[in-house]
Amino acid sequence: MVQVLGSVLIVSLIVPEALGITCPGLGDFNSDGAFVDFPEPTCPGDPNLELSYTMYSTSGGNDQGIVFDRNSVPSNFNPSWKTLFVVHGWNSNADAGWMADIKNRLLANFDANCVVVGWGGPGGSETIQYGESASTTRTVGAESAEVMMNLITNGGGDAGLMHCTGHSLGAHVCGHFGRWAAARGMKPDRCTGMDPAGPLFAPNSNRSVGLYTDCAQFVDIINTDWTSGSTPHPDEPALVLGHQNYFPNDGHDQPGCTLDSCSHSIAHDYFVESVGNDCFVARESCSATNDLPGSCSPCGHDCGQMGYGASRNTADGIYRLETVADAPYCIG
Ligand SMILES: *[C@@H]1O[C@H](CO)[C@@H](O)[C@H](O)[C@H]1NC(C)=O
């Protein structure tokens, strides 16, 4: 018995089976290669994930929204308008007030569709197991891409009108969303990372673990707390994950915040205020994220704009601006 057990152990040591999980409708998510530090993710079909997609649109149905999935096109979806997917991060869920705020401001100001993405179950973002949530950004991103791809294939939508904005781990959900769709010929127009989560992602040298420039035609990043997470090491520069990378107040210690958690969360509040209000105009462009404002110089009329109004029509780069402690935070 001991010998049998021994040989089983030796065999399993010699031929290590990659840790991972096969998710129905998506395929394998292995914990190897770039994902060696990531535990097994939760599959979209697992009820503990509490994955949900709710469509709101200027064309109506917005009291409750319309819940849908990868097999349905909600009746309020207008394929000729832009669609904004909004994704929360760790220890949050579909009821987060800032997601409703983004949706309400979007529909009040534009003809648009808005998909609120929830993954706040105990097998999703509402767990103390940060690593599991971080890994589950892969499966939520992939499933969200399938949902978007169905809106294109069966709803008449257009990848060029698709935009995903996510906070913290939600930024990486958007990253995997965009990369999954891009690999299937439907690269979305835009992904916005609202202070993308650093732990597990930033120290990894392979950028395909999370949000990066390959995830959409245009990737813009709002950095509000980079000194506490979005850098591999405290002495190293913040990562440049997007085409346009905004560093309000040098990207850390936001006005009115004393805690890192406040600076981290205010990224989504800046985004809320930016919807329909083009007032987060950058003042300087910079060359080194660990030398702010030292490496910056005025960019005049060529400055990018942080938040919803960011546009690929301004140059790629690192931008610096200032905000104030009270909403709408921007100073014009
Ligand atoms: C990065 O990770 C991805 C996913 O594991 C892998 O396909 C790719 O080959 C890796 N790239 C490099 C340069 O190691």
Judged by phi (left if over 0) then psi (alpha if -120 to 50, else beta), residue 120 lies in alpha
- Mean pLDDT over residues 49-59, rounded? 97
Give the DSSP H/E element, type plus range, for residue 221: strand 218-222
pLDDT at residue 17 above 70?
no
Summarised one tens digit per residue, pLDDT across range 194-235 is 999 999 999 999 999 999 999 999 999 999 998 777 676 666
Ligand 1 atom with the smallest distance to the CA of 35 is 5
Q: What is the pLDDT of residue 332?
A: 76
- With H, G, I as helix, E, B as strand and everything else as coil, classify residue 326: coil
For CA atoms 247, 181, 143, 159, the dihedral sign is positive
The type of residue at 263 is: S
Q: How far is the CA of 205 from the centre of ligand 1 (A)?
A: 10
| CATH, range 23-321 | 3.40.50.1820
Q: What is the pLDDT of residue 40?
A: 94
Do 144 and 87 meet the contact criterion of CB atoms below 8 Å apart?
A: yes
CA of 152 to the centre of ligand 1 (A): 28
- Residue 63 pLDDT level (bands cut at 50, 70, 90): confident
For range 86-112, the mean pLDDT = 97
Kindly state the average pLDDT of the residues 30-43: 93
Binned at pLDDT 50, 70 and 90, residue 242 comes out as: very high
Residue pair 69/80 in contact by the 8 Å Cβ criterion: no
| Cα–ligand 1 centroid distance for 230 (angstroms) | 20
pLDDT value at residue 234: 61
CA nearest ligand 1 atom 13, residue: 206
What is the per-residue pLDDT for 253?
Answer: 94
**Per-residue model confidence as pLDDT tens digits over 308-324:** 999 999 999 999 999 99
CB-based contact 298:229 (threshold 8 Å): no
Least confident of 60-69, 91-100, 111-120, 303-312: 60-69
Q: How far is the CA of 158 from the centre of ligand 1 (A)?
A: 28
pLDDT at 4 over 60: no
DSSP 16-41: PPPPEEEETTTEEEES-GGGTTS-PP
**SS3 assignment, position 192:** strand
Whether residue 8 is predicted with pLDDT greater than 90 in this model: the reply is no
| Contact yes or no for 184/219 (Cβ under 8 A) | no
pLDDT of residue 235: 65
The string of pLDDT tens digits covering residues 249-298 is: 999 999 999 999 999 999 999 999 999 999 999 999 999 998 999 999 99
Assess whether pLDDT exceeds 90 at residue 42: yes
- Which position has the token pair 């018995």? 1
Q: Is the dihedral of CA 154, 156, 159, 165 positive or negative?
A: negative
- Cα(125)–Cα(111) distance, rounded to whole angstroms? 31
Residue 213 Cα, ligand 1 centroid: separation in angstroms? Answer: 15
The model's confidence at residue 18, banded by pLDDT at 50, 70 and 90, is: low
Give the pTM.
0.94
Q: What pLDDT shows up at residue 208?
A: 96
Ligand 1 atom closest to 32 (CA): 5
The ligand 1 site (C-beta within 6 Å) comprises: 33-35, 206, 208
Sorted by sequence, the CB contacts under 8 Å of residue 169 that are 6+ apart come out as 89, 90, 125, 133, 134, 137, 197
